[in-house]
Structure 1
Amino acid sequence: MPVTINAHQLGRLIDRTIGHVADEYTEPLHGICLETDATHLYTVASDRYTIAAARYRHHGLDGEPFARTLPAGSLSSLREWITALPGTDPVTVNVTEDRFHFTAPHSTLSIAISLSLTVFNWRGVLRGAMEQTSPTDDAVFPVLDTRLLARFAAADGMIRLRVTADRQAVLIVGEDFLGAQMPARARRAGIGTDDLATLDQVYTTWHHTLADAEPIAMPDGIPAQTDRPRYEVTRDIAETAGDLLKQTLRSTHDMFSTDMPSEALAAYATAGVTAWTAYRYLDALHTADPKLAATVVAETADQLDSGEIGEFAWDAAQQAGHDPKTWSEEYEAWLEARAKNTTTQPSTKEPSTITSA
């Protein structure tokens, strides 16, 4: 029955569903369901109006699958315990009759299970939302409560929506994430007496404002973003990844297509290697945690724009237990030795720490 997953991914599973936990007045749903099958660990939560199911491929299941619900009151303690662990630490999740047991290499957390928290048929609910068909009148569209829709902000950086009918659930899809939201009745949502229940009614309401305009596709009708100043660093993940790949290709192209001094060749090689390494790290981080990747890209852009990355790197090296002062002294000694030898190739090799940096 035990299942193993790393601490970072367990925390992310909880974060993606915790916003959908029902309040204490809906006791059977006042928690997050933890469930396993042969390949995945799932977290599932619902407040009856929304449902969210996230999954991650676990490191292995020992025995039969399980399905139990973590009480909402214990979620803060569990999340704090996970946050205190290194993200790569394996966490084994085991279930006994009345408790969850979370075991990391150096600590253990046990949480009591409330038998009143039953696991509902979330697979059936989501399959129903996925397989529901659209009516022939596709002009009818649902009313969505934006306060409920906002709960899906933690689902993924980008999501897909499937809308089928006025009174049917809207399907919400992300990477390793399925969710659904029930529409509200127009009257309860404060829109009046279904005045805006069809596209024809919306068109009639807005005809006075839009009648003189020619239809234009959205990308063609809105001015494109002007190129940002050269000194500004992009905060967009896709653009950052593109810039890194472009730098890699340009550096490797110039290395093999032109004659250049050895020092220039080394500079191009370093630029290409560094750009490719940064791209691989960013791609892996985005796959593991898109939200964290977006945060890191934005923070890095701010640091680059500040022009103080040398100071940031010095502080980071000290915090990581390195000795940047020694690195600097070694590099200064190498520069001095190179300057003394003006007629032949310097025999003194550049310090490895500087080269690798």
Structure 2
Amino acid sequence: EKDGYAPRGYSLRTPGDDFWRVVQEFIDALPLLVLVVDETNSIAAYNRALQRYLGKAERELRGGYYPKVVHGLEEPFAGCPLEESLKLGRWVQRELFDPPSGKWVASAIYPTPWRTEKGHRLFIHVVEDITVRKNAEEKLRQALDGTIGVLAAAIEVRDPYTADHARRVALLARAIAAEAGFTLEQAEATYVAALVHDIGKLYVPVELLNKPRRLTEVEMNLVKMHPRVACEILEQVAFPWPIAEIVLQRHERMDGSGYPDGLVGADILPEARALAVADVVEAISSHRPYRAALGTEAALAEIARNKGSLYDPVMVDACLAGI
């Protein structure tokens, strides 16, 4: 009959029986760190790789209290994979930082159909040292942050107003993304795209950007080229997100009246739709070189009035809920 985690439960005896010998030979052959732990956090078995990693004697490991032996803690830490697996009734995988060793590990807990002689359910805990990968990711992230900083600085040198505008748009866009239920990756992409969304304006003469009167058709067509210029610049950077495409689409509108490609509705990336709302709200509510600020009330009235026609209703609602 069913036993929660598996169709049957098997009672195990001591580490000296035939089953344990097979288990030990198997896990010793693995390059990963392996622990067999029961639901009381008692260590039932481990492999040589784990013993070498921890640098502990057998008497400290076998039968030891898992949180104490491995992490130096008296109680399981918050988010402990074993505790989560017990609670959820399924396997759990996490990437964790281990303070005592200063290393990053990928930790996975798998419930088994087996029980100890005392009736305690057994779990296989597999751990992989991913410190090298995490350090490489951090270096890549720092390089990426540096690239974003250089792009933002280039905008600021040319037009300080545009740089301040971009920072405010980025904060609002990230808030909209969170309220709209974006994944962490989507929210980060939206934030980064907002920081550099005006990079294409390096192509536009400053006198046009700050012109106090309505632009002529020729001047407006010149300004409308900046999303494509931005896209060409940003395509040269190996972002882990589609930043160039998001920035290219930020002036598109739900009804197809936007530019540069006249995209409609779902053809526009969600991140670009969030950025479009944030950009409009910030632009209307803030001071511009050619006019005084119109205020937050006017900005929110604009997106509410054109909800569904120009702006994505989900993003508008997220913005209204967050302000």
The answer to whether the superposition gives a TM-score over 0.5 is no
TM-score, reference length from structure 1: 0.25
Instruction: Say which structure is richer in helix.
Output: 2
Give the structure with the larger strand fraction.
1
